[in-house]
Amino acid sequence: MKNERLSEPLSFKRILLTIDADDPNSSINAFRYAVTLAKDYEIELRIVSVLEDDDVNIFDAMTPGKVDRKEDDVNRTVEDYVKVARKAGADNVRGMSVGMGDVDDVILDQVIPKYKPDLIVCGSDTADASHRVPGAVGLRIAKRANVSVIVVR
C-alpha cells in the first residue's frame, strides 16, 4: 500500500450518456444516474443517440427525406432528454448530433475524440431491443476505448 494516489478522491468531469432511442426503457436508469452525477458534482453532461444502420432499411434509404426524418426524430429525442435533465437540476447539459452508422464505431471514432469524456454512461438492452448485436453498447465500447464506462441497470 505505498501508492499515495490511493487516498486521493476520484470523480469524473465530463460525462457522455448514450441513449438508445429505439429501446427507451434501457436508458432510464442510465439517464437518472448520469443526471444525478452531473448535478451532484456540477459537471458536464453530453447526451448522444446514434441512428443505427440497422434501423434504416433499403426502402427508407430510397425514399427521399426518410433518413433525414429518422435523424430528426433521434435529435428530437435527445433534445427531450436534455430538457428533462435540465429540469432535474443538471445545469451543464447538451445534446450532441452525430451521423448514422454502427453505434460502437460512431461513438469511438466521432464522439469520444470530439467530446473527450472521462466517463461513458449507458444502459443495457431490454427485451424491447431489436439490435443485431444485443447487450450493452457500453461493454463493447469499454473493450475498445480507454475511457471509464458504467453500465447502469
Stretch in the footprint of a second copy (CB under 8 A) among 3-11, 66-74, 96-104, 105-113: 3-11
| 124 in Cβ contact with 21 (< 8 Å) | no
47 binds a second copy, rule: CB under 8 A: no
Residue (1 or 62) nearer to a second copy, CB:
1
* 6, amino acid identity: L
Residues that contact a second copy, how many (by CB under 8 A): 39
Closer residue to a second copy (CB): 61 or 134: 134
Extended beta strands in 33-96, E state: 44-48, 93-96
List, in order, residues 6 or more apart from 33 with CB less than 8 Å away. Answer: 121, 150, 152
Residue from 88, 96, 100, 129 touching a second copy (CB under 8 A): that is 88
Are 108 and 144 in contact by the 8 Å Cβ rule? The answer is: yes
- Of residues 13, 40, 97, 130, which one binds a second copy by CB under 8 A? 40
Residues 94-153 close enough to bind a second copy by CB under 8 A:
124, 135-136, 139, 142-143, 146-153
10 near a second copy (CB under 8 A):
yes
Query: Cβ of residue 94: shortest distance to a second copy, in angstroms?
Result: 17
All three cell numbers of 65, joined, read 427525406
Closest CA to 132 of 69, 57, 77, 76: 57
Strand partners, 120: 16, 149
46 counts as binding a second copy under rule CB under 8 A: no
Q: Residue 85 and residue 82: Cα distance in Å, rounded?
A: 5
Which residues make up the interface to a second copy (CB under 8 A)? Answer: 1, 3, 5-11, 24, 28-29, 31-33, 35-36, 39-40, 80-81, 83-84, 87-88, 124, 135-136, 139, 142-143, 146-153
